[in-house]
Amino acid sequence: MNLHFTQCRVFSGSKTLYLYKKMLIPVLLLASVSSKGYAQSGQRIALDELDISKVYQGKDRPREIGTRAEISIDKSPFTGGLHTRTDSRLYLVLDGKTTTFSARVGIDDRSLRDARAEFFVIGDGAILWRSGIMGTSDPARLCQVSIIGIKNLLLKVSGSSGQMDGDRAHVDWAEGQFIYSGARPHTNWSPEDLALNRHLPEPPLPRINGAMAVGIRPGTPFVYPIAVTGKHPIKITVEGLPTGLVFDKTTGIISGIPEKRGDYRVALLAKNRIGTARRILRISVGDSLALTPPMGWLSWNVTEGLISATILKEMADAFVKYGLRDVGYQYIMMDDCWAGGRDRADRVFPDTVRFPDGLKPIGDYLHGKGFRMGIYSSPAAVTCAEYPGTGGHEVQDAHTWASWGVDYLKYDLCSTPRDSAKERYIRMGRLLEQSGRSIVYALGAGDEGPGLPIDAHAQVWRTGVDIRDQWKMDLECGIIDCFDEQERFARYQHPGIWNDPDMLVTGIDGKGASANDLDAKGCNDTEYQCQMSLWSLLSAPLFISADIRHIRPSALKILTNPEVLAVDQDILGNPPALYGARGDLEIWVKEMADGSRTIGLLNRRDQAAAMTIKWADIGLKGKQRVRDLWLRKNLGGLKTGYSATVPGHGVILIRVSSR
């Protein structure tokens, strides 16, 4: 049957997608027939073996796949599949040699009583199968479709809970699978996501970014990419490396194993046709790590139980492609849900579906691109999401992580008995020091007290509860709530030990998983920019938790401003001081290593407000040169102070110097 489409509209919520076809498309429409009518030769792959983190759904993101998704339709449990929410879309790329898609579909028992939904399988713009409208009391329906010759497949569900405006029904593609003889099917972003222009223009002059003080233990592997922005091509030269380290001009990465203790001043030079940039990188070979706050990506707020080898590799590629490595981000981190279990020798291993080749190849891949690999665990027997923890297996696990190439451990309190928590944290710190790798140690230490990082030889310490993608919340923490927790811990922070107010939510846009629990609606760009300003003033660890693979350009611009990141990465690591407050209007000042000061004018109000800072009030005399860090613009020399209108829930960030 030959069908010719000039324009096919696929309705999805309030959006209409226009799919243009320029040639005849052979489509075989078969629906609701016995599986005996299909050719069953070829390889099989379950839907939940693919990267379903790319699914779009009307509320948050999928969190678990396979058996942990706990799929149940009309009180009948299913062993695996995709549990999602209406309205949802998942796009797949095929090579025309995938023969069959099948699944059992229906409304999950978690939905409200009068939920309604309809399932669609759409291939190359044509509806191949539809379920008809289903209710909560309907048993699962068989979806079995021939997709021979199809190149682009869309799995779509429309519907609602029927109760609350804006709420979404829970729906399932249970036991979904493909039969294919050619290339393995893979998921893709929606046309809207693919159309995003994420390539941001850079100022032409070269600029060297990132941490300018790095700690490494002697005899352990070192990897450090030179972070440079500017018009390419850029020639980079490096002089003064300690013995054991080499610079690869092709990749721009310093790597190797330094043997001799000492502080080394390494001269970096970046040159293009426009100009030249110079910086001094201090490599300290000794006992100290994380001499500036770690920067990277952490999986929890968006991907949760979907974390996989595919996501980690694609995230690293996106960090390179969209310039995040060039402004200093270095860590790619797995949070909870990566573990599969323990073998007969009690060695922990990763989930074999999501990490079919194990984790060492992932570590090698990340290191090859200049990144460091992070992992998550707990001192308890199980983690917060009830995956294997280290309890009773600390020696084995520290050795195993090191063999995989782990560079960062997030160690969460979870169900650890309080009477033994401190002892367990301290023990793991000692084991990491003996692991043969320079593993940065981050504690989710609950209320154990600010002295614990010192005792445990840790470098990062969580100071509060989990952040949510909202300005302010009654439960847990919004952006401003997490910031307000920091003042009482400021005096405990110094280079090598950093207070952590939790992840950056910039760019999640209300579409996270845990980030949008508790009815967190998401933030606007002013609020996201405010978080980036406040975290940089705090010298906080900067871990992005949005999905960089399809982030909005304006959010990416917030996350990659090198002048704001330089405030966070300043080698003094000073916290800001509150110099003036008038109700909801506050002025925060941070002293910088070069003698300048970074000033944040914070407006907590919902509406814009005029704010003024006088130089005399913060101990400055005479004319000051002022630069707006978000505008990346010099404002000239100002004699007595600075005034501006600050947007509601916003920060204006300026850097002032008498020179």
Question: What is the total residue count of the chain?
Answer: 659
How far separated are the first and last CA of the chain, in Å rounded? 76
Are 108 and 170 contacting, i.e. CB atoms less than 8 angstroms apart?
A: yes
Q: Is-catalytic flag, 412?
A: yes
Nearest-angstrom CA–CA distance, 325 and 250 = 15
Beta strand 339-342 pairing with 542-544: unpaired
User: Sign of dihedral through CA atoms 354, 502, 213, 457?
Assistant: negative
Please report the beta strands in 138-260, taking only residues with DSSP state E, as ranges in sequence order: 141-146, 152-160, 170-180, 186-188, 207-209, 213-216, 222-225, 227-229, 235-239, 245-248, 253-256
Q: Nearest to residue 427, comparing CAs of 403, 447, 411?
A: 411
- Secondary structure (3-state) at 499: strand
How far apart are alpha carbons 626 and 619 in whole angstroms?
16
Beta pairing, strands 72-73 & 76-77: antiparallel
**Distance between CA atoms of residues 543 and 411, nearest Å:** 15
- Among left, alpha and beta (phi > 0; psi -120 to 50; other), residue 410 is beta
Residue 19's SS3 state is strand
Q: What single DSSP character describes residue 566? A: H
- Of 87, 326, 336, 466, the catalytic one is 466
Say whether 466 is catalytic: yes
- Helix, strand, or coil here: 559? helix
Of 618, 539, 633, 535, whose CA–CA distance to 580 is shortest? Answer: 618
Region of 453 (left: φ > 0; alpha: ψ -120 to 50; beta: rest) is alpha
The sign of the CA dihedral 33, 36, 37, 43 is positive
**Cβ(586)–Cβ(580) below 8 Å:** yes
Q: Which of these is catalytic: 60, 412, 469, 570?
A: 412
DSSP-assigned letters across all residues of 420-447: THHHHHHHHHHHHHTSSS--EEEEE-TT
CA 527 to CA 505: how far, in whole Å? 10
In whole angstroms, give the CA distance from residue 431 to residue 448.
20
Q: Phi/psi at 239 (nearest 5 deg)?
A: -135, 140
Whole-number Å distance between alpha carbons of 355 and 340 = 9
The answer to whether the beta carbons of residues 303 and 53 sit under 8 Å apart is yes
Residues belonging to the active site = 412, 466
